[in-house]
Amino acid sequence: MFPSPPTTHHTQPQTLKVQDAGSDQEQVQVEVTRLLVSSYFDIVRANLQDLVPKAVMHFLVNTVQRGLQQHLIKTIYRWVCGEGGHAGGCVRVHA
C-alpha cells in the first residue's frame, strides 16, 4: 500500500586528504574546526537521546489519557442513566 521509506546508510564519511600541508595557523584552525564540529555532534546526539524517549512518552501518555477519559465518561453516563434506556435528561451513549 505505502511505499517503503528510502534506506539510509549511516556510515562515517571518508576523511579528506589535503595535498598541501598549509601553514601552522591553518592547521590549528582546521583542528579547532574539527573539534568544534565533533563537540557539536556529541551535544546534538546527547540531546536527541534525551528528548526522543520523552517525546514518545508524552504522546503515549496523552493518547492513553484521552482513551481513558472517553471510556470513563461513557461508563459514568451508563451508570447514571442505567443500561435500560433513557431516564430523565440522560442521553444514551453507544460504545
For the entire predicted model, the pTM comes to: 0.50
Condensed to tens digits (0 to 9), the pLDDT of residues 44-74 reads: 999 999 999 999 999 999 999 999 999 999 8
Give Cα separations from 33 to 26, 28, 88 (angstroms).
10, 9, 75
Q: Range of 84's domain? A: 24-95
Q: Is 95 part of any domain?
A: yes
Q: Is 13 part of any domain?
A: no
Give Cα separations from 31 to 11, 22, 28, 38, 87 (angstroms).
22, 12, 5, 11, 79
Helix and strand element counts for the chain (H, E) = 1, 0
Can you tell me the distance from the alpha carbon of 13 to that of 28, in angstroms, rounded to the nearest whole number?
22
Q: Is 40 part of any domain?
A: yes
Query: Please, what is the average pLDDT of the chain?
Result: 81
Can you tell me the distance from the alpha carbon of 81 to that of 94, in angstroms, rounded to the nearest whole number?
12
Q: Is 18 part of any domain?
A: no
